[in-house]
Structures are given as structure tokens and as C-alpha cells.
Amino acid sequence: MKKLSCIIVDDEPLAANVLEKYVQRLDHLNLVGKAENAIQAFNLINSERIDLMFLDIKMPQITGIDFIKSLNNPPAVIFTTAYRNFALEGFEMDAVDYLLKPISFERFMKAVGKVSVSYVSDPKLMNEVGGQTITRDYIFVREDKRMKKVLLADILFVESIKDYVKIITRKDTVLTYLKMNYLEGNLPVNQFVRIHKSFIVRIEAIQGYTSSEAEVGDVTIPIGRHYKQKVLEVLNDLIL
């Protein structure tokens, strides 16, 4: 498994030190650095490849929420805070998880596990096998207590249901605890397109479409108005 490069952003040294010790206990995490404020974090993100950020919400000058909003392409984020009332806003920012201080190692591992699943499932990651570089055509997702292999070519569409996604394939349906945005980022853009806040479809599975909906098998899926322009550009390029 490739290591996840991470940073800790927290103005409380004690809290940052606890997280650092937790990171050091997990072999697949690599701590690149720690920051006491958003400016230091910004410099780290722009000088290193960062996959994951442990980010305190309540910080002086610039809050963690405002910092994330300022980034064009933020890494995966796990919010940390001593204030429970920040949870809802944190999840609205598509955070991977929200950790309430004091943080136990068991709860920390659970949050990191959500990132690891989406990261190692990334079909764009290249594997070295027998001296040759290959691209995976499948993902692994957690279903109940096991990891299930899903072939990209079998996927018809994906539907978001709160904190879960439902992957509908030619053979069955897989329900997994995963953020829609992270799954979208882990699917090849030449094969899949997000047509609605709640739906991603495999382009080859679309059997017909209008400006407001797409037909996938016997299911009609709405095309969201915020996604319409991109979707129609992708599909209209296929018109002979």
C-alpha cells in the first residue's frame, strides 16, 4: 500500500502531539509536517504533495472551515475540534470525518480507514508488476466487514445516500460507507461522469439522454442543473 502523506494543522501543541503519535503508529501514514495556523499549512500544501490533512476548526485569524474554502484543490480532510457544534458545518465541507477532542486512537483509526479505502481504490494509481507499469481496472470497497472487488466495466451508475454510496453493477448492488466526492475523484474521467449531486454514471452505460435526464438500463436519472453543461459537453462530443 502506498503511504498517505499527511499534515497536522492545530494551534494547540498538546493536541497536535497526540495526533503525531497516532500517525506514527500507522505504517501507511507519513507525516510531512505540522502547522500552527492556516498560513503555515498553506505553505506546506504548496511545497509538498499532501493526501490528508488533520485540521483543527477553531484557530486564530483563519478558521479551518475558511481555510478549506480558500483552497482550489484541497487534500482529504479530517476535522478535529473540541466543539461538537461544528460537526454539521464540517461535514457540509465534504470532510472525510469529524473527530471530537479528546481523540482516542480507536476513533482516529476509524477516520483514517475511510481515507485509506478511497485512496488505495484509486484506479488511476499505477502499480509496478513484474517490472511493468499497469493501470487497475477495478476498485475495492468495504461492504459490511469485507473488502469487495468491483470491476469498473461492470458499474452502471452510483447513487449517493447520505454518508453511503450505492454502486449498481450489471450483477448486483454494493452499499458502502464512502463520500460521493471521494469516489468521484477515484473514477477515471474518461469512463465516468457525474450528472447530478446524487448520481455518477458510466458513460458507456448511457443508452439515451435529453437535456434533463439520462437513461441507464431501465432507470431514468435526472441531470442536475449545476452539472448540465459539463454532461452535455461530454455526451455531445460522442454524436456522429
Q: What are phi and psi of 121, to 5 degrees?
A: -85, 0
Q: How many helices (H) and strands (E) does the chain have?
A: 7, 17
pLDDT value of position 31:
95
Residue pair 115/4 in contact (Cβ under 8 Å)? The answer is yes
What is the distance, to the nearest Å, from the Cα of residue 49 to the centroid of all Cα atoms in its chain?
16
More confidently predicted of 95 and 213: 213
pLDDT per position as a tens digit, 108-129:
988 888 775 555 444 444 343 3
**Higher confidence at residue 138 or residue 192?**
192
- pLDDT at position 178: 84
Number of Cβ within a 10 Å radius of residue 27: 8
Q: Is the pTM of this model over 0.85?
A: no
**Of the candidates 1, 19, 85, which has an alpha carbon nearest to the alpha carbon of residue 55?**
19
pLDDT of residue 149: 87
Percent of the chain with pLDDT over 70: 85
pLDDT band at 94 (very low <50, low <70, confident <90, very high): low
- pLDDT score at 72: 77
| pLDDT band at residue 130 under the 50/70/90 scheme | very low
What is the secondary structure of 19-54 as a DSSP string?
Answer: HHHHHHT-TTEEEEEEESSHHHHHHHHHHS--SEEE
Mean pLDDT, the chain, rounded, equals 83
For 191, the grid coordinates are 469512463
Q: Which of 92-106, 114-128, 167-181 has the lowest mean pLDDT?
A: 114-128
